[in-house]
């Protein structure tokens, strides 16, 4: 069957995502990189629709007998015309498009009402929040500069946060290239604020990933003292190295999993930040594809890794 231009590329993207089992944001990046003829409007439609369909995939599957991507897209387009009475006949987990295993976990931990609230919130588009790099600027100065060309506001949850009320290609902004900000959710910013390190102290970010939390608290040391970043994933530390350089942080050292310095650093730290490997459920609003990959084994393996 021949589909309209945008729908054809939407279905191609979703099929490639499903086959490769890569995160949706990576799949979108790869697809757009190899299909440069797609205009900005096409890309926006494809990306927003793909994310919307993944958020509501469980509900869409219950509303159609044709569960391939074209069938789910047809169900997606019909959502607004569905009556509330029709939807209320479905199980609550299906209404909020939550996999049963994840729904059971949420209900056991928070109760059904709170679980429903969390699921409905995760099915809305997340705002994009950045963090001003206080090694190079402050929030008010950066906010005024960005406001000349963007619809932005101070984030009420974080003293360094700025929220964009519109889409933007952040990584192409001159302010990003100058290292004046990093894209970081307000929750992660608040976690990093718990590290009240002082100049001259030693800090270990033990599950550092690509260094987002280190970047958030590094200004507290004023370039004095030492920060150590450790992670079992080398590719994450390679990314952290690039981010540290762009941010202008020079008192940070990467620690590989097999680094000989480990034993020498025992009992030498003033602060140790451990953001242990987790389920990732806190990022479902931004990464809705993750919820369809949870299994009993997922939770069991994560608990073993944390221990």
Tens-place pLDDT, residues 40-59:
999 999 999 999 999 999 99
Residues 173, 204 share a domain: no
Q: pTM, whole model, 2 decimals?
A: 0.77
Residues 211, 175 share a domain: no
What pLDDT is stored for residue 288 in this prediction?
A: 92
Residue 288 belongs to some domain of the structure: no
Residues 205, 179 share a domain: no
d(CA 117, CA 106): 10
Counted domains in the chain: 3
Residue 305 belongs to some domain of the structure: no
Residue 182 belongs to some domain of the structure: yes
DSSP conformation letters of 127-139: PEEEEE-TTT--H
Residue 115 belongs to some domain of the structure: no
End residue of a domain, out of 148, 165, 189: 189
End residue of a domain, out of 93, 108, 136: 93
Q: For 191-240, write each residue's pLDDT tens digit.
A: 888 999 999 999 999 888 889 999 999 999 999 999 999 988 888 899 99
Residue 107 has pLDDT above 80, yes or no: yes
* Mean pLDDT, rounded, of the chain: 91
Residue 78 belongs to domain spanning = 5-93
Please answer whether residues 179 and 136 qualify as being in contact, where contact means their C-beta atoms are separated by less than 8 angstroms: yes
- What would the two tokens of residue 64 be? 């159609």
Residues 216, 169 share a domain: no
229 class by beta-carbon count within 10 Å (0-12 exposed, 13-18 middle, 19+ buried): buried
d(CA 9, CA 236): 31
Question: Residue 90: left if φ>0, alpha if ψ -120 to 50, beta else—which one?
Answer: beta
Residue 298 belongs to some domain of the structure: no
% of the chain exceeding 90 in pLDDT: 68
End residue of a domain, out of 189, 211, 233: 189
* Distant-in-sequence, close-in-space partners of 249: CB < 8 Å, separation ≥ 6: 135, 214, 215, 218, 227
Residues 251, 176 share a domain: no
Residues 198, 182 share a domain: no
How does residue 79 score in pLDDT terms, banded at 50, 70 and 90? very high
How does residue 152 score in pLDDT terms, banded at 50, 70 and 90? very high
* Distant-in-sequence, close-in-space partners of 292: CB < 8 Å, separation ≥ 6: 54, 57, 99
% of the chain exceeding 70 in pLDDT: 99
Residues 230, 258 share a domain: yes
Residues 68, 9 share a domain: yes
Give the C-alpha distances (Å, rounded to integers) separating 247 from 123, 201, 223, 266: 33, 20, 12, 28
- What would the two tokens of residue 33 be? 């990189």
Residues 218, 160 share a domain: no
Residues 42, 21 share a domain: yes
Phi, psi of 195 (to 5 degrees): -85, 95
Residue 206 belongs to some domain of the structure: yes
Cα torsion 121, 126, 127, 128 to 10°: value is 150
Residue 262 belongs to some domain of the structure: yes
- Give the residues across from 163 on adjacent strands: 129, 153
Residues 175, 212 share a domain: no
Residue 76 belongs to some domain of the structure: yes
Give the CATH number of the domain where residue 152 resides. 3.30.70.1170
Residues 230, 269 share a domain: yes
Candidates 287, 303, 300, 306; CA nearest to 101 is 300
């Amino acid at each position: 069957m021949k589909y309209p231009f945008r729908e054809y590329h939407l279905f191609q993207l979703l099929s490639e995502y499903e086959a490769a089992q890569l995160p949706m944001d990576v799949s979108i990046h790869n697809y757009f990189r190899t299909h440069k003829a797609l205009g900005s409007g096409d890309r926006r439609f494809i990306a927003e629709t793909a994310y919307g369909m993944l958020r509501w995939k469980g509900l869409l599957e219950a509303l159609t007998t044709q569960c391939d991507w074209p069938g789910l897209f047809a169900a997606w387009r019909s959502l607004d015309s569905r009556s509330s009475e029709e939807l209320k006949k479905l199980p609550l987990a299906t209404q909020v498009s939550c996999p049963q295993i994840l729904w059971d976990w949420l209900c056991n931990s928070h109760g059904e009402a709170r679980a429903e609230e969390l699921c409905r919130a995760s099915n809305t588009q997340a705002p994009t929040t950045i963090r001003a790099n206080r090694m190079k600027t402050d929030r008010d100065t950066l906010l005024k500069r960005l406001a000349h060309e963007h619809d932005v506001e101070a984030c009420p949850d974080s003293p360094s946060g700025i929220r964009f009320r519109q889409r933007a290609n952040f990584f192409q902004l001159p302010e990003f290239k100058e290292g004046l900000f990093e894209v970081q959710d307000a929750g992660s910013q608040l976690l990093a604020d718990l590290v009240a390190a002082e100049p001259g102290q030693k800090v270990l970010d033990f599950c550092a990933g690509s260094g987002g939390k280190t970047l958030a608290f590094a200004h507290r040391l004023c370039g004095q003292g030492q920060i150590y970043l450790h992670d079992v994933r080398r590719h994450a530390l390679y990314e952290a190295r690039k981010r540290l350089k762009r941010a202008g942080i020079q008192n940070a050292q990467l620690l590989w999993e097999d680094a000989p310095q480990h034993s020498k650093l025992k009992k030498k730290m003033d602060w140790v930040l451990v953001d242990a490997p987790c389920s990732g459920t806190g990022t479902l609003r931004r990464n809705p594809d993750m919820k369809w990959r949870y299994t009993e084994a997922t939770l069991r393996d994560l608990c073993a890794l944390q221990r």
